[in-house]
Structure 1
């Protein structure tokens, strides 16, 4: 009696086991559906594309890189759509993340993904921003599928690679957009003389002058624009390099072609060099203070304060010279105790025949000069 009852059950389970072992039936279970279906990749176009419910998700950007100005707003374009378009809207989650400029490797490595930090996450009408981007970012949403990121009040440290990632169920597609700021690279050394900064001191020295350590790309662009400097300096990636447009003895030799001379990665605590700083547009105005007499450094600081401003920093002077056309032939004190002046229109009695920021170095603080103020 018992065997007659068990026999149908045994036949059912044996049939089920056989069905699971047949080709093409792996993972099948009766009465279960998760709402997603993926076609076999071998049935696709040979490029490893996976189709989601017979619909392909595409995420694109018409601009792989965007150039912007510090303090302004910028739009990083990102759009997604389906092929073919589904008959009903799908719920998607969008995440923007960021890889700072000084950590980008070329070509991109898997480690880059691990170093990315979240900027903004959104699902439907709900969204959340993070870190220094909190309150400064939003999605444009000008049309269906438009997930372009709007960043307000751009800061020096916002440069880098941004990833727009669209997640629909089990499908995840993304595109990257590089953000660069218009600016200027300038070499910077300590009041004590050449080669006194370790990496972290170089970082701080640039920050003190309203700048950041330059990236390799920024220094390369500056070299293309004619920057020639024979002293090695730290860059944001921890390498030490210097740009040469006119090969000569003592700067790699006359036999080497023009370019960036590199010492490679150096010990960030023990090795000491100068710095290459990057400064972008300033929101205020740098001006030469009209004063009846020349000033020592202490008097220069006070004179700017009495005029309702503050003594200008080196990065502010360079940015105003390069990006706003500041041109003045009088030497003046700056906040770090150096004396400089900016020339855009070369002329007699104003130094070399090409434009640039002329420097007197760090003279004794009791000497008398003019002063550049920042308002």
Structure 2
């Protein structure tokens, strides 16, 4: 028999297993949202007893490179039950009904999967603690996780959302606007030290003032764009501000821009001071001579948002674009709003600018910082085309 009821003090006689996933050290939902939700208990009864699960909405927040606890607790009766027969399993929800294994423990035996190896461990904060700690958080760790606790007869689950502090930025390649299918959008974000943004991340960016008139892919396969200042060329002036949604689009056949998300930098972006401006090839060499590499677009956005990099000088980036970050707007630096100014994709050989370099905090296994940046167009995925589009964010 399966039924639901609003949470109240437990009155069942025999409780076999209790799993509680809660947002410890978490950023809770706004009060008005919290009040609008009822916490529900689902009870499954059969001849063996009862399983009770309580879950509460919330999320835990960290940044790339940090550590975070995904909280999950369980209660098992009778108290004398053998803890070595309790199985704890963590998975990541990557899509509807699609799960990626993260961690599993049965007594003293533990196993970590895939990219989580060497980074995940049980917190072990007393009896009934199924929480795990993830170290050296990556952009790909963002998302929803499931905690499952199983004994010999029954199992139950709870969910925790892992959020990252960071910045969303729109992106289109040298070939021009609306040229990316979903897979290409995913690839270009990764190439620029980012991932495709989620709807929640884009919505937060819109609340913070992001205004962009071109639709872009999000990680769930939808196509959306944020409008803070409605105007006729962006869906009519008389429509309300908000995140416009085209819905889920065909991932292979349809083409749009991309909205990317990046987080904390493991290094530093800086404008390389030189006596003369350089073309792209010379910019690459200049950064390498300085012990760095040419900065990626995502790295410049992270430096602007998180490290408050403010520089009123246009410079080359790794993708062959020209940009510069403005924290404190002034008249001669591209308008009244803060943001990363984009001056398009000039000719790589004959146009000259400064350059933004990136120096990592960690050396690679050979003791060399980073690796040389490839020239745009050397890879078959890159398409060379000159544009003079100017866009201020």
TM-score by length of 2: 0.77
Instruction: Tell me, in whole angstroms, the C-alpha distance in 1 between the residues paired with 2:289 and 2:5.
Output: 72
- Deviation, 1:143, is 1.3
Pick from 327, 331, 334 the counterpart of residue 344 of structure 1: 327
Instruction: Tell me, in whole angstroms, the C-alpha distance in 1 between the residues paired with 2:174 and 2:103.
Output: 42
* 1:77-88 equivalences in 2 (<5 Å): 77-82=71-76, 86-88=79-81
Pick from 127, 134, 143 the counterpart of residue 160 of structure 1: 143
Pair 97,76 (structure 1): closer, same or farther in 2 beyond 3 Å: same
Tell me the equivalent position of 1:191: 174
Tell me the equivalent position of 1:16: none
In structure 1, runs of 5+ residues without a counterpart are 1-39, 104-111
Pick from 22, 34, 51 the counterpart of residue 62 of structure 1: 22
Residues 1:182 and 2:165 aligned together: yes
Instruction: Tell me, in whole angstroms, the C-alpha distance in 1 between the residues paired with 2:184 and 2:174.
Output: 13
- Deviation, 1:201, is 1.1
- Deviation, 1:271, is 1.3
Tell me the equivalent position of 1:217: 200
- Deviation, 1:58, is 1.6
Instruction: Tell me, in whole angstroms, the C-alpha distance in 2 between the residues paired with 1:299 and 1:342.
Output: 22
Tell me the equivalent position of 2:352: 368
Pair 46,359 (structure 1): closer, same or farther in 2 beyond 3 Å: closer
Residues 1:129 and 2:112 aligned together: yes
- Deviation, 1:358, is 0.7
Q: Is the 8 A contact 1:52 1:171 kept in 2?
A: no
Tell me the equivalent position of 1:74: 68
Secondary structure of 1:196's counterpart equals coil
Secondary structure of 1:169's counterpart equals coil
Deviation per CA, 1:324-369, whole angstroms, max 9, x where unpaired?
1111111110000001110111123111112100111111222111
Instruction: Tell me, in whole angstroms, the C-alpha distance in 2 between the residues paired with 1:232 and 1:54.
Output: 54
Q: Is the 8 A contact 1:343 1:357 kept in 2?
A: yes
* 1:135-150 equivalences in 2 (<5 Å): 135-150=118-133
Tell me the equivalent position of 1:109: none
Pair 314,57 (structure 1): closer, same or farther in 2 beyond 3 Å: same
Residues 1:205 and 2:188 aligned together: yes
Pair 41,152 (structure 1): closer, same or farther in 2 beyond 3 Å: closer
- Deviation, 1:256, is 1.3
RMSD, aligned CA? 2.3
Instruction: Tell me, in whole angstroms, the C-alpha distance in 1 between the residues paired with 2:64 and 2:6.
Output: 45
Pair 46,262 (structure 1): closer, same or farther in 2 beyond 3 Å: closer
Q: Is the 8 A contact 1:55 1:86 kept in 2?
A: no
* 1:1-375 equivalences in 2 (<5 Å): 54-63=14-23, 64-82=58-76, 86-90=79-83, 91-100=85-94, 103=95, 112=96, 114-365=97-348, 366-375=350-359
Pair 303,144 (structure 1): closer, same or farther in 2 beyond 3 Å: same
Instruction: Tell me, in whole angstroms, the C-alpha distance in 1 between the residues paired with 2:210 and 2:60.
Output: 23
- Deviation, 1:61, is 2.9
Secondary structure of 2:206's counterpart equals helix
In structure 2, runs of 5+ residues without a counterpart are 24-57, 360-393
Q: Is the 8 A contact 2:22 2:160 kept in 1?
A: no
Pair 165,305 (structure 1): closer, same or farther in 2 beyond 3 Å: same
Q: Is the 8 A contact 1:59 1:166 kept in 2?
A: yes
Return structure 1 stretches of 4+ with deviation > 4 angstroms: 44-47, 50-53, 87-90
- Deviation, 1:129, is 0.9
Secondary structure of 2:306's counterpart equals helix
- Deviation, 1:85, is 5.9
Secondary structure of 1:253's counterpart equals coil
- Deviation, 1:285, is 0.5
Structure with bigger gyration radius? 1
TM-score by length of 1: 0.81
Q: Is the 8 A contact 2:64 2:264 kept in 1?
A: yes
Tell me the equivalent position of 2:34: none
Instruction: Tell me, in whole angstroms, the C-alpha distance in 2 between the residues paired with 1:161 and 1:268.
Output: 22
* Structure with more of its chain in helix, by fraction: 1
